[in-house]
């Protein structure tokens, strides 16, 4: 948990967004509505009450108001909301210069020490009788005069202490720290639905997480390749680490007992070198069937699928077979396949995992571990049709367990 500097005068969190600002006005306002709703939902899920929230008149800042004692907990939640670029615990006063002086001196009294150098960073939006430079000059002089015994000096290039003042129309916001989030990204929107095909490798989970970062609502579909309850609990705990980033209730995953069907198929498969390709094609087919049914609420709204294919040969799955198998996805569905980790190195993927949570655990996810795998498009099609996969996949649908992680 990050340690925050919070003054007893603070009663709100000032929130900045980054990438959203680059969108057209219509798209930006839509995304900001989702961002505020997502933060509200995440706070409610954690049981953190707030007094109100609002958007500044120029739409450049979001404000959430809290009791002072709840600010630290609220900051931990807000820093995990996709779409937030940075945030600051702050206090609010009017935009009258005398009020700005009074409240800034209160803050200065808490942060400045003898012989400090300091700087005021002032921003202004709206119509006022003064400029940002006027405020910095007037308030800076008042601070020096008020703390004459401190022997303070202004240093604009490299100060020991900074005090920020943002004047926005009728109100001013005063704070000392700007905290950047790990992820930035875009706010999750409910109409951007992605299915996550997960066989247990961490890359699959991370691929789903990165699409959340791009504003997608994800539906994990877990293909259990082991039927080992101990391993499955590790799997669930890994996905539980994602919950802190989810701004909606009812975050569900589907567990498919894949071995119940795949074992039967493999017992009759002579060409063992096509095991991995056959596995992936069967998974495509099953996901397509689930997404087109009405049995599992939400899954039928997905419009694309993702998994953790990455070209670094760091997993049990064969990179080349995985890549070529994607070319046959069209046989089963119209859903595009996203592979956000394709260009990431093993070190980069490990870094992302640790940023999400250092408690995410790797495990031996596949009991088959086939060696010397091949891919031949026509051969795979022949094998697939010979085994009447349609019949197997229908049986597999009855082996699905829906789990609500919330």
In this prediction, residues 83-103 reach a mean pLDDT of 97
Quickly state the pLDDT bin for 123 (edges 50, 70, 90). very high
Instruction: Give the Cα separation of 280 and 282 in Å (integer).
Output: 5
| Residue 187 located in a structural domain | no
Task: Please choose, from the candidates 146, 145, 129, 135, the residue with its C-alpha nearest in 3D space to the C-alpha of residue 174.
Answer: 135
Among 7-16, 286-295, 378-387, top mean pLDDT goes to 7-16
Quickly state the pLDDT bin for 406 (edges 50, 70, 90). confident
Residue 16, φ and ψ in degrees, nearest 5: -110, 150
- The reply to whether 175 and 229 lie within a common domain is no
| Residue 325 located in a structural domain | yes
Q: Which CATH number fits the domain that encloses residue 323?
A: 3.40.50.620
Instruction: Give the Cα separation of 95 and 47 in Å (integer).
Output: 33
Instruction: Give the Cα separation of 74 and 206 in Å (integer).
Output: 25
- The reply to whether 238 and 377 lie within a common domain is yes
The residue among 124, 149, 180 that closes a domain is 180
| Residue 169 located in a structural domain | yes
Quickly state the pLDDT bin for 268 (edges 50, 70, 90). confident
The residue among 180, 211, 239 that closes a domain is 180
Number of domains in the chain: 2
Quickly state the pLDDT bin for 91 (edges 50, 70, 90). very high
Quickly state the pLDDT bin for 234 (edges 50, 70, 90). very high
What digits encode the pLDDT tens for the residues 296-329?
777 888 889 998 988 887 787 888 888 888 888 8
| Residue 3 located in a structural domain | no
Looking at residue 391, its pLDDT comes to 66
| Residue 95 located in a structural domain | yes
Instruction: Give the Cα separation of 169 and 215 in Å (integer).
Output: 31
CB atoms < 10 A from the CB of 206, how many?
Answer: 23
Instruction: Give the Cα separation of 186 and 252 in Å (integer).
Output: 22
| Residue 6 located in a structural domain | no
**339: three-class secondary structure by DSSP:** coil
For 316, the domain range is 193-404
Task: Please choose, from the candidates 82, 73, 92, 96, the residue with its C-alpha nearest in 3D space to the C-alpha of residue 38.
Answer: 82
Quickly state the pLDDT bin for 394 (edges 50, 70, 90). low
In this prediction, residues 355-365 reach a mean pLDDT of 90
The residue among 130, 154, 180 that closes a domain is 180
Looking at residue 389, its pLDDT comes to 65
Would the pLDDT of 62 be above 80? yes
- The reply to whether 305 and 388 lie within a common domain is yes
Is the alpha carbon torsion for 82, 84, 90, 95 positive or negative?
negative
- The reply to whether 197 and 132 lie within a common domain is no
- The reply to whether 107 and 240 lie within a common domain is no
> Residues 321, 326, 330, 331: what is their CA dihedral angle, to the nearest 10 degrees?
20
- The reply to whether 176 and 213 lie within a common domain is no
For the chain, how long is the longest CA-to-CA vector?
90
Average per-residue pLDDT for the chain: 91
Q: What is the pTM of this model?
A: 0.92
In this prediction, residues 48-67 reach a mean pLDDT of 96
| Residue 283 located in a structural domain | yes
- The reply to whether 161 and 88 lie within a common domain is yes
Residue 218, φ and ψ in degrees, nearest 5: -110, 155
Quickly state the pLDDT bin for 348 (edges 50, 70, 90). very high
CB 208 within 8 A of CB 106: no
CB 71 within 8 A of CB 89: yes
Selected residue with higher pLDDT from 363 and 196? 196
| Residue 400 located in a structural domain | yes
- The reply to whether 34 and 172 lie within a common domain is yes
% of residues, the chain, pLDDT over 70: 98
What digits encode the pLDDT tens for the residues 151-197?
999 999 999 999 999 999 999 999 999 999 999 999 999 999 999 99
Looking at residue 390, its pLDDT comes to 64
Q: H-type helices in 90-164, by residue range? A: 97-111, 132-146
Looking at residue 332, its pLDDT comes to 73
Strand partners, 153: 117
- The reply to whether 200 and 166 lie within a common domain is no
Q: Which CATH number fits the domain that encloses residue 153?
A: 3.30.2130.30
Looking at residue 397, its pLDDT comes to 65
What digits encode the pLDDT tens for the residues 269-284?
888 998 998 888 888 8
Looking at residue 21, its pLDDT comes to 87
Looking at residue 303, its pLDDT comes to 87
- The reply to whether 202 and 150 lie within a common domain is no
- The reply to whether 168 and 31 lie within a common domain is yes
Residue indicated by tokens 């989030």: 181
Q: H-type helices in 214-363, by residue range? A: 229-240, 259-267, 275-292, 319-326, 346-356
- The reply to whether 372 and 229 lie within a common domain is yes
């Amino acid at each position: 948990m990050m340690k925050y500097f919070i003054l007893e005068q603070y009663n709100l969190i000032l929130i900045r967004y980054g990438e959203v600002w680059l969108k057209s006005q219509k798209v930006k306002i839509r995304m900001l509505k989702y961002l505020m709703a997502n933060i509200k939902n995440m706070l409610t899920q954690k049981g953190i009450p707030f007094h109100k929230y609002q958007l500044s008149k120029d739409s450049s800042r979001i404000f959430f108001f809290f009791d002072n004692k709840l600010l630290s907990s609220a900051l931990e939640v807000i820093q995990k909301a996709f779409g937030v670029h940075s945030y600051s615990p702050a206090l609010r006063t009017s935009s009258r210069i005398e009020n700005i002086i009074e409240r800034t001196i209160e803050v200065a009294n808490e942060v400045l020490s003898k012989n400090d150098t300091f700087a005021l960073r002032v921003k202004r939006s709206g119509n006022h009788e003064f400029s940002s430079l006027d405020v910095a000059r007037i308030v800076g002089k008042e601070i020096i005069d008020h703390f004459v015994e401190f022997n303070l000096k202004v240093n604009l290039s490299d100060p020991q202490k900074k005090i920020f003042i943002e004047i926005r129309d009728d109100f001013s916001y005063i704070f000392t720290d700007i905290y950047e989030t790990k992820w930035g990204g875009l706010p999750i929107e409910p109409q951007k639905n992605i299915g996550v095909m997960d066989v247990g490798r961490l890359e699959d989970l991370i691929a789903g997480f990165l699409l959340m970062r791009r504003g997608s609502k994800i539906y994990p579909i877990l293909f259990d390749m082991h039927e080992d309850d101990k391993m499955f609990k590790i799997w669930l705990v890994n996905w539980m680490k994602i919950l802190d980033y989810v701004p909606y209730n009812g975050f569900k995953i589907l567990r498919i007992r894949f071995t119940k069907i795949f074992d039967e198929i493999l017992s009759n498969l002579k060409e063992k070198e096509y095991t991995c390709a056959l596995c992936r094609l069967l998974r495509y087919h099953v996901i397509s069937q689930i997404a087109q049914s009405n049995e599992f609420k939400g899954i039928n709204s997905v419009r694309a699928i993702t998994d953790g294919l990455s070209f670094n040969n760091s997993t049990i799955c064969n990179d080349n077979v995985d890549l070529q198998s994607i070319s046959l996805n069209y046989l089963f569905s119209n859903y595009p396949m996203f592979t956000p980790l394709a260009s990431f190195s093993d070190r980069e993927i490990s870094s992302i995992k640790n940023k999400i949570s250092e408690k995410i655990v790797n495990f031996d996810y596949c009991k088959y571990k086939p060696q010397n795998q091949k891919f031949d498009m026509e051969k795979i099609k022949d094998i697939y049709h010979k085994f009447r996969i349609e019949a197997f996949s229908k049986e597999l649908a009855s082996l699905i367990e829906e789990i609500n992680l919330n």
